[in-house]
């Protein structure tokens, strides 16, 4: 799992919301990750891509809503977010791009 493309498959994109901004004040970042990714894999990917030390990883899975698409019932996809807490002295600026 040292290939950079494979690491970017684990971490899809940073989440920039009001809640994620409040988490960044506590030295934490929020990323949308692959639904099958586990915590050690997420930690390894963040450390390899951004050259930082990760203290903890917490994950949440948001189930997709049932919505109507052109009159037919459909379901949005499930989304997994990872709250990554960094060690003291380490930081990532997600506003500049990945």
pLDDT digits (tens, 9 = 90+) for 43-95: 999 999 888 999 999 999 999 999 998 999 999 999 999 999 999 888 777 66
Could you read off the pLDDT of 5-41 as tens digits, one per residue? 888 889 999 998 999 889 888 889 999 999 999 999 9
In a domain, 96, yes or no: no
What CATH number does residue 10 fall under? 3.30.70.330
**Residue 87: DSSP 8-state:** P
In a domain, 85, yes or no: yes
CA 45 – CA 39 distance, rounded (Å): 10
**What's the domain count of the chain?**
1
Q: Which residue has the tokens 């002295």?
A: 89
In a domain, 97, yes or no: no
pTM recorded for the entire structure:
0.84
Q: Which domain holds residue 52?
A: 4-89
For residue 8, list its beta bridge partners.
Answer: none
| 3-class DSSP assignment, residue 41 | helix
In a domain, 21, yes or no: yes
User: Do the beta carbons of residue 30 and residue 15 sit within 8 Å?
Assistant: yes
For residue 62, list its beta bridge partners.
Answer: 79
């Amino acid at each position: 799992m040292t290939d950079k493309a494979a690491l970017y498959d684990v971490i899809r994109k940073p989440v920039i919301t009001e809640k994620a901004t409040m988490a960044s004040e506590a030295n934490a970042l929020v990323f949308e990750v692959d639904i099958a990714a586990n915590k050690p894999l997420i930690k390894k990917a963040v450390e390899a891509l951004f050259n930082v030390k990760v203290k903890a990883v917490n994950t949440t899975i948001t189930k997709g809503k049932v919505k109507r698409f052109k009159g037919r019932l459909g379901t949005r996809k499930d989304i997994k977010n990872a709250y990554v807490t960094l060690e003291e002295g380490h930081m990532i600026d997600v506003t500049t791009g990945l």
